[in-house]
Amino acid sequence: MIETIFYILFLSQILLFSVYFPNKIYQRMRYVITHYPCNQYPKLYPQPIENYHRFHGNYRLANWLIAAAGLVTLTLSIVFNNKGEFIEPQVLVWLFFMVQFMPVMIIELSEFSQFKMMRTADRSSVRSATLSPRSLVNFIAVKWLCVALITLLIAIVYSFYLEDFIISIEGSAVFAAGILLSVNAFFSGLIYWNLYGKKLNPHQTEADRQKVITVAIKSLVFISISASIFLMVTLSIKEYQLHSLAPLAMTIYLQVIALFSLGNSIGSIKVDEINFDLYKEESLL
């Protein structure tokens, strides 16, 4: 029964991360290139247009191949009834997730590269900024920050509770707390960078930038909450010998991350609400 649920959830992970979301992203990319073409919006395309077509095609192909590999892996797991003889199911889920995440990473890196090229190509000597200060609480409700902090503290306390509050370098509690604190420190750095870092896209309006910052901050805070809860679940599974639930927990957690990050981004930032007029050749300030 648990195995069946796991296979269904793993299938869901394959479809969500390698079919559904990539398809949405691909449609957005094609929508932009179709409705805001290079000859009318030259500032949006610092590279030759063929590069974008090729990138879109490669992105779609890569995701299809990963989805196919996922289905093959799933089929083999079912056929050979993998219970950890070849590879632990939760490790398999995690490794496959890493592969699924690669196209997302490539998109993120290409975005940095795109913005850099836009900055280089930007001939305008005029730079703009808002006189409104940006503060964390402008972008996310205080209650969610409190929830993130509280779940983090509960997760750390729970991990030490399972070891009878014995603080030992060799114990897993210190390791777990260290990982969780490091992850949250990293997220805090990302949030700070989003709020106060350099403007990457030279043509982006303040309104669009605020939308992007809101999505980024909310994603990071919700992922932090998920990570804390996942840690408690993982430690409980280990403590109460519920190893058969480990793969389920892993795939559910990864799908939750996908929903909070990609899902939130795609759902919150509608392409037709972005101001593309600034990418025209003679855009007026």
Q: How far is the CB of 36 from another protein (least distance, A)?
A: 20
The 8 Å CB, 24+ separation contacts for 262-266 are 262/21, 262/25, 262/104, 263/21, 264/215, 264/218, 264/219, 264/222, 265/215, 265/219, 266/21, 266/24, 266/25, 266/28
Cβ proximity to another protein, 106 vs 190, nearer residue: 190
Distances (CA, A) of 4 to 126, 234, 249: 60, 20, 14
CB atoms within 10 A of CB 108: 10
List the one residue out of 120, 124, 117 whose CA is nearest residue 283.
124
Q: How far is the CB of 197 from another protein (least distance, A)?
A: 6
Name the one range near another protein by CB under 8 A: 83-91, 138-146, 182-190, 197-205: 197-205
Name the one range near another protein by CB under 8 A: 36-44, 78-86, 205-213, 240-248: 205-213
Does 207 engage in binding with another protein (CB under 8 A)? yes
Cβ proximity to another protein, 34 vs 125, nearer residue: 125
Rule CB under 8 A: choose which of 15, 106, 174, 195 binds another protein: 195
Tokens read off for 97 = 């997730």
Rule CB under 8 A: choose which of 37, 48, 57, 197 binds another protein: 197
CB atoms within 10 A of CB 85: 8
Hey, which residues between 103 and 132 contact another protein (CB under 8 A)? 125-132
Distances (CA, A) of 252 to 13, 17, 44, 67, 245: 8, 12, 37, 18, 11
Distances (CA, A) of 226 to 36, 66, 153, 262: 37, 25, 13, 15
8 Å CB contact between 97 and 254: yes
Rule CB under 8 A: choose which of 50, 198, 272, 281 binds another protein: 198
Q: How far is the CB of 125 from another protein (least distance, A)?
A: 4
Name the one range near another protein by CB under 8 A: 7-15, 76-84, 170-178, 190-198: 190-198
Distances (CA, A) of 41 to 33, 126, 140, 206, 249: 10, 19, 33, 19, 46
Cβ proximity to another protein, 193 vs 240, nearer residue: 193
Taking residues 242 to 261 in sequence order and writing x for each that binds another protein by CB under 8 A, - otherwise, the string is --------------------
Q: How far is the CB of 206 from another protein (least distance, A)?
A: 4
What secondary structure letter does DSSP report for 138? G
Cβ proximity to another protein, 81 vs 125, nearer residue: 125
Q: How far is the CB of 134 from another protein (least distance, A)?
A: 6
Rule CB under 8 A: choose which of 24, 56, 134, 280 binds another protein: 134
| Residues at the contact surface with another protein, assessed by CB under 8 A | 125-134, 195-199, 205-207, 285
